A and B are shown apart, each in its own frame.
Chain A
């Protein structure tokens, strides 16, 4: 099992450009999450999904959109990137199907810089 993978690992964008970050998991997990982590801070939830075809807003959703068309993939889109979106983005997933299956497993992260 590869676990949770993220594409790309690094990206530099200019202000106003768009991009999509891809998260994939091969553990048949129900829930998937997108977080951002700024220097010296904790992880802040952007959007999450409790199942295929469903998404919900987290703590800091403005400027981002998401889609979960397939259970194993969760896409994070930036339509018009801003310097304030410079951050490290982590995807995570959790099973959530029965008791004791709510551990979140994280991907390796994507380092995004917006100039």
Chain B
């Protein structure tokens, strides 16, 4: 099965700083790369995703970059705000297949 690793496991930044979370995967056939955000006590929700035919995607303060050769993709959050505090999960997979979730990164944004 797919081996997925996320780094770092915890990240603390000052409000307004940038945050970067990296996800490494093992299955070279994976072609769909989403990031989910889970606030305390809530369900995971998709915040951004990318497919293997593009290298970068941006949505306002959030971006995802993909390096298929090195088998990793990263979540970038700029101008962080306290409401960005949450646990973030990557879940790479082959479209039509099953997802393997990373163990999560706890992001704390200090006001």
Q: A-side interface residues toward B, CB under 8 Å? A: 33, 35, 40-45, 48, 50, 56, 58-59, 90, 96, 99-100, 102-104, 106-109
Contact = CB atoms under 8 A, between A and B. Distances in A.
Given A90-B44, A107-B43, A43 B89 contact: yes
A109 B100 contact: no
A108 B38 CA distance: 11
A33 B101 CA distance: 13
B43 A108 contact: yes
Interface of B: 1, 32, 34, 42-46, 49, 51, 89, 91, 95-96, 98-104
A6 B89 CA distance: 22
B98 A42 contact: no
A9 B86 CA distance: 22
A27 to B, nearest CB: 14
Contacts of B98: 33, 45, 48, 56, 58
